[in-house]
Chains A and B, each alone.
Chain A
Amino acid sequence: MSELVDAVLRCLLVLGAFLTLPLLVGQMEHKAMAHMQSRVGPMAAGGFHGWAQLVADGVKFVQKESIVPGAADRKVFELAPAVALVPYLVALLAIPLGPFFGQGNLVGQDLDLGLFFVLAAMSVGVLGTLMGGLGSGNKYSYIGGMRVAAQLMSYELPMVLAAASVAMLAGTLSLIGIAEAWEPWWLLAQLPGLVVFFVAGLAELQRPPFDAPLADAELVMGPLTEYGGMRFAMFLLAEYAGIVVLAGLTTVLFLGGWAGPWSDQLGWVWTLLKIVLVSFLVIWARVAYPRLREDQVNSLAWKVLVPLALAQIAFTTVLVVW
């Protein structure tokens, strides 16, 4: 019985994290981006520095009529937001937050193959955007969908390679195992892998500067052009949940997860702190760099990231064998 309670409690915790962390990241994006552009961002909603802006946005999205374009492929169009959103929830299930006041590791489910599980879930999530592009019956969505596919194929490889490098060094595919095997000097030895993983993750989430599929100046909003109301909100939530998953994965794989002072008690605080830090980096990259052209997106993947990831793997092999 207590096992069942434990499982339910863990699932509820993950669901809670899934519903709050993306909003936190979204609010951070609002405010950090605003201040980086010498603005103040939302100030009115909720009173104190617009903390309730995303709640207000959510209320607005709920009130909107849900429209399906006449030319759309109805089933595919309606299913796409769910396909985009749910995988990130599933992925969050396997990301460990570290020791919680000596009560064991705070994780939805410790999987023997956690790394592969999370990467697999992330790769499914992008399918939602692709379905949106295909099913909207709109040429901008269509071109956007093609760009999504091209980008996904290019960046999947370096991402998995970079992750594999860490897994090789740690000798395990379990996320908890990798974080526990982590040592500070990995920060230097895995630096190229870290960069490759982070950049490829950004591209996989179609975050700026890799948002060529959305490219509002060319493609209106790419695959999301025809979406509005709740469905659009789900795509947005998927984007921010994707940031959380990417930040969590980067933290656990490359930044040592809960490594830090008093990690037996406060390990989860360290992990959360690092996740916030990486999320901030995601936002910072968005503000600091203009969108890459479509050919630049693909040439970066094949000419820079893949060779870099392969070199990293070769180097890690030497380290492990030696």
Chain B
Amino acid sequence: MTLAELVFLVLAVIAVGSALLSMTSGQLVHSALWLVVTLGAVAGCFLLMTAEFVAWVQVLVYVGSVVVLVIFALMLTRQSTGEKSAEVTGNRWLAAILGVVAAIGLGATMIAGFRGEEIEGRRIGTAGSIGHALFTDWVLPFEILSGVLLAALVGAIVISRSGSDR
């Protein structure tokens, strides 16, 4: 086992562990902060797999914006320090089962698709290679995705305007 593999293992354990803590934590704010740890550890894993670009974008977008958005939503909707949140109870067992099923499904897909692939020595994650791939092999999915995002944007505007002057 090389040093890189060891570090990867540690990061993976951190990611999974903090993800579990984020799900079982009694307070929603703590859940959001554990999510930060999870995302950071996942970014570290990306880094070890030479996917630098994805790693930094992960930190920039998910830690820097998405988690902030989540926390902002939490703050707007409830006074969250101190008391226990109601969301922890309820459907937690069903959610756990669904989560496990999804994890198994995704993991199986990954293993089936990429088993035995070596990334040693191939810098597949640099900005240059990702940009090249995006605008050659993956142009159509990329454009479709931007269309989906645009639709979501328009939808958000429509929903947020519904209160005052439709």
Interface set of A (CB-CB < 8 Å, partner B):
71-73, 76, 111-113, 116-117, 119-121, 123-124, 126-127, 130-131, 134-135, 137, 142, 145-146, 149-150, 152-153, 156, 160, 173
B75 and A127 within 8 A (CB): no
A127 to B30, CA, bound (A): 13
Q: Across the interface, which residues of B come within 8 angstroms of A73, CB to CB?
A: 27, 29-30, 81-82
Chain B: CB-nearest residue to A174: B127
Contact status A137-B63, CB under 8 Å: no
Contacts of A116 in B (CB 8 A): 53, 56-57, 60, 127
Q: Mark B47-89, 1 if CB is under 8 A from A, else 0.
A: 0000011001101100111011101100110011110000000
- Chain A residue numbers with a CB within 8 Å of B126 are 112-113
Taken together as a complex, chains A and B put the C-alpha atoms of A120 and B67 apart, in Å, by 13
A sample of 17 more A-B contacts (CB under 8 A), given A113-B126, A121-B59, A126-B68, is A71-B81, A73-B27, A73-B29, A73-B81, A76-B29, A76-B33, A116-B53, A116-B60, A120-B63, A123-B59, A124-B63, A127-B36, A134-B81, A142-B81, A145-B71, A149-B75, A152-B68
Q: How many A-B residue pairs have CB under 8 A?
A: 87
Report whether A149 and B60 are in contact in the complex, using a CB–CB cutoff of 8 Å.
Answer: no
> Bound complex: CA of A30 vs CA of B108, how far in Å?
60
- A134 engages B68 (CB within 8 Å): no
Give the CA-CA distance A152 to B61 in the complex, in Å. 12
Q: Is the CB of A150 within 8 A of B36?
A: no
Q: CA of A136 to CA of B33 in the docked complex: distance in angstroms? A: 15
Which residues of A sit under 8 angstroms from B64, Cβ to Cβ? 120, 123-124, 126-127, 152, 156
Bound CA–CA A289/B76 (angstroms): 30
Q: How far is the CA of A113 from the CA of B52 in the complex (A)?
A: 7
Expressed in whole angstroms, the Cα–Cα distance for A61 and B36 within the complex equals 30
Which of chain B's residues have a CB closer than 8 A to the CB of A113? 52-53, 56, 126-127
Please indicate the chain A residues that have their CB under 8 angstroms from the CB of B53 in the complex: 113, 116
Do the beta carbons of B60 and A119 come within 8 Å of each other? yes
A113 to B56, CA, bound (A): 8
Report the minimum CB–CB distance from B56 to chain A (whole Å): 4
Q: 4 tightest CB-CB pairs across the interface, nearest first? A: A123-B64, A149-B72, A116-B56, A120-B59
Q: Chain B nearest CB: distance from A212 CB in Å?
A: 15
- Interface size for chain B: under 10, 10 to 19, 20 to 34, or 35 or more residues? 20 to 34
The distance in angstroms between the C-alpha atoms of A152 and B69, with both chains bound, is: 9
Once the chains are docked, how many angstroms separate the CA of A29 from the CA of B24?
A: 46
Q: Which residue of A lies closest to B57 (CB)?
A: A116
The minimal Cβ–Cβ distance linking A187 to chain B, given in whole angstroms, is 25
Residues of B within 8 A of A121 (CB): 59
Q: Using Cβ atoms and an 8 Å threshold, which residues of chain B touch A72?
A: 81
In the bound complex, residues from chain A placing their C-beta under 8 Å from that of B52 are 111-113
Interface of chain A, helix or strand or loop or mixed? Answer: helix
- Using Cβ atoms and an 8 Å threshold, which residues of chain A touch B56? 113, 116-117, 119-120
Cβ of A150: which chain B residues have Cβ within 8 Å of it?
72
**Min distance, Cβ A143 to any Cβ of chain B, angstroms:** 9
> What are some 17 contacts across the A-B interface (CB < 8 A)?
A73-B29, A113-B127, A116-B57, A119-B56, A120-B56, A123-B59, A123-B60, A127-B67, A131-B33, A134-B75, A134-B81, A137-B82, A146-B76, A149-B69, A149-B71, A152-B68, A153-B72
Residues from chain B with Cβ under 8 Å of A134 in the complex:
29, 71, 75, 80-81
Beta-carbon nearest neighbor of A114 in chain B: B56
Residue of B nearest to A145 (CB): B75
* Residue numbers in A under 8 Å from B36 (CB-CB): 127
Residues of B within 8 A of A117 (CB): 56
In the assembled complex, the Cα of A126 lies from the Cα of B63 at a distance in Å of 10
CB contacts (< 8 Å) of B82 on chain A: these are 71, 73, 137
Q: Which of B120-166 contact A (CB under 8 A)?
A: 126-127
Which B residues touch A137, using CB under 8 A?
81-82
Q: Is the CB of B29 within 8 A of A146?
A: no
Q: CB within 8 A of B127: which of A71, A112, A123, A127?
A: A112
Q: Give the nearest-CB partner of A77 in chain B.
A: B81
> Chain A nearest CB: distance from B97 CB in Å?
30
